[in-house]
């Protein structure tokens, strides 16, 4: 039996009403999740900092005076606490922002890196998988195939000191870091969220996840800056090389670095330098950084992981609503087109 236009419109209204209920539930779920996440970030940032100061740079930490040790610890606590308001503000946003293009930040950074004589190999330790992942990056292969980033190798500036290299990289921040936005008209302006539209809820969910990662990356950078200011982490590596490394996920199956202890939220970056071509000290061949990763944070917090499962289930339900919503809208368009055809048709 063919449905009437009125029946189809009623089904559409019912789907929108269900979506509006899911929107309230999604916001509540995320609010609880972000509360727990902010607490877990603070705890795991301190734990990762502890590992850096005691396992990877113990002598640097021992060299600090008591007051400097306490100042560093206090500054790290403040960094860990500062993320809470930023995380909770994510779900209060009422607009969909332009979506990032397919080029992620790391690919954009690599594409625009100035040429220096530095090779890097990145390996990370993930307690969740209990495996050590490694990755190598090649600037030319990245440009050719951005999806398979494997090694950073840059050549030129032979007798440039590290301060000049740092300035080159800092110039990129002002010019290039905001290019990872899709320039198409559809993504160029904010759009008010329709909370009864399942598609908007799915886009909102993706936006929340992007902002969570952005906040974790920013917090990691702030913590590393404090560790560098205290002379724990070496501070003569160009910051943009570190930024690229922080965006690398690592590829399973690459060569592992078994010499380094396994610690969550720690990124190990190996820099191979030619002392004849650069003034970056050869002793800086290994650098360990703090990098907060959502998967590792959730793995270390069962309650947070349980909240993630609830969000995942809810998003699955919204996905089904979205399929139903699209199908019903198509049915409505067909029914209205048929009615319009009949109303305009006349016999010769």
pLDDT tens, position by position, 66-86: 999 999 999 999 999 999 999
Instruction: Give the span between the Cα atoms of 159 and 28, in whole angstroms.
Output: 56
Instruction: Give the span between the Cα atoms of 103 and 8, in whole angstroms.
Output: 40
Residue 203 in any domain: the answer is yes
Mean pLDDT of 264-277: 74
Residue 71 in any domain: the answer is yes
Is the pLDDT confidence value at 133 over 60?
no
DSSP H helices in 162-281: 162-176, 198-229, 239-246
Residue 311 in any domain: the answer is yes
Residue 105: band (very low, low, confident or very high) from pLDDT cuts 50, 70, 90: low
Instruction: Kindly report which listed range (178-192, 313-327, 331-345) carries the lowest average pLDDT score.
Output: 178-192
Q: Which of 110, 233, 92 is nearest to 179 (CA)?
A: 110
Of the two residues 203 and 246, the one the predictor is more confident about is: 203
Residue 145 in any domain: the answer is yes
Mean pLDDT of 85-103: 84
Is the pLDDT confidence value at 346 over 50?
yes
Residue 98: band (very low, low, confident or very high) from pLDDT cuts 50, 70, 90: confident
Q: Which residues pair with 290 in a beta bridge?
A: 266
Residue 240: band (very low, low, confident or very high) from pLDDT cuts 50, 70, 90: confident
Phi-psi region of 125 (alpha: psi -120 to 50; beta: other; left: phi over 0): beta
* Maximum average pLDDT range among 257-271, 276-290, 304-318: 304-318
pTM above the 0.85 mark? no
**pLDDT given for residue 37 in this prediction:** 98
Query: CB pairs under 8 A, 24+ apart, for 302-310?
Result: 303/36, 304/33, 304/36, 304/37, 304/40, 307/29, 307/32, 307/33, 307/36, 308/33, 310/29
Residue showing tokens 């993706």: 206
Residue 233 in any domain: the answer is yes
Distances (CA, A) of 300 to 32, 54, 57, 266, 323: 17, 20, 23, 14, 35
Phi, psi of 37 (to 5 degrees): -60, -40
Residue 185 in any domain: the answer is no
Domain boundaries, position 102: 5-179+191-344
* Maximum average pLDDT range among 39-43, 247-251, 256-260: 39-43
Per-position b or e across 291-328, b if 16+ CB within 10 A of its CB: bbbeebbbbbbeebeebbeebeebbeebeebbebbeeb
The number of domains in the chain is 1
Residue 20 in any domain: the answer is yes
**pLDDT given for residue 154 in this prediction:** 29
Instruction: Give the span between the Cα atoms of 169 and 157, in whole angstroms.
Output: 13
Q: Which secondary-structure segment (H or E) carries 121?
A: strand 118-126
Contact status, residue 241 vs residue 118, Cβ threshold 8 Å: yes
Mean pLDDT of 227-256: 69
Tokens of 2: 């063919």
Residue 56 in any domain: the answer is yes
Q: How high is the mean pLDDT of the chain?
A: 76
**pLDDT given for residue 126 in this prediction:** 38
């Amino acid at each position: 039996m063919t449905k009437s236009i009125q029946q189809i419109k009623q089904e559409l209204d019912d789907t929108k009403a269900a979506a509006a209920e899911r929107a309230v539930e999604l916001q509540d779920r995320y609010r609880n999740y972000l509360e727990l996440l902010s607490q877990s970030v603070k705890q795991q940032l301190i734990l990762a900092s502890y590992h850096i100061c005691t396992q990877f740079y113990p002598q640097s930490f021992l060299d600090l005076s008591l007051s400097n040790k306490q100042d560093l610890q206090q500054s790290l606590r403040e960094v860990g606490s500062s993320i809470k308001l930023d995380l909770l503000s994510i779900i209060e946003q009422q607009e969909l922002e332009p979506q990032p293009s397919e080029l992620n930040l790391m690919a954009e950074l690599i594409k625009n890196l100035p040429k220096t004589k530095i090779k890097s190999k990145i390996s990370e330790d993930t307690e969740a998988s209990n495996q050590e992942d490694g990755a190598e990056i090649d600037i030319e292969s990245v440009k050719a195939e951005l999806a398979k980033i494997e090694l950073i190798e840059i050549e030129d500036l032979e007798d440039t000191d590290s301060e000049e290299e740092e300035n080159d990289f800092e110039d990129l921040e002002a010019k290039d870091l905001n290019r990872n936005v899709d320039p198409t008209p559809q993504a160029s302006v904010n759009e008010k969220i329709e909370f009864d539209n399942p598609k908007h809820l799915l886009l909102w969910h993706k936006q929340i996840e992007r902002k969570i990662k952005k906040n974790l990356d920013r917090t990691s950078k702030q913590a590393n800056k404090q560790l560098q200011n205290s002379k724990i982490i070496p501070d003569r590596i160009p910051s943009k090389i570190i930024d690229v490394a922080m965006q690398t996920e690592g590829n399973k199956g690459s060569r592992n670095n078994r010499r380094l202890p396994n610690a969550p939220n720690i990124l190990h970056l190996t820099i191979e330098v030619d002392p004849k071509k650069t003034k970056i000290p050869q002793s800086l061949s290994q650098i360990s950084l703090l990098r907060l990763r959502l998967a590792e944070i959730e793995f270390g917090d069962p309650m947070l992981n349980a909240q993630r499962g609830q969000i995942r289930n809810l998003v699955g339900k919204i996905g089904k609503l979205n399929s139903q919503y699209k199908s019903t809208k198509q049915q409505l368009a067909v029914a209205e087109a048929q009615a319009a055809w009949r109303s305009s048709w006349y016999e010769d």
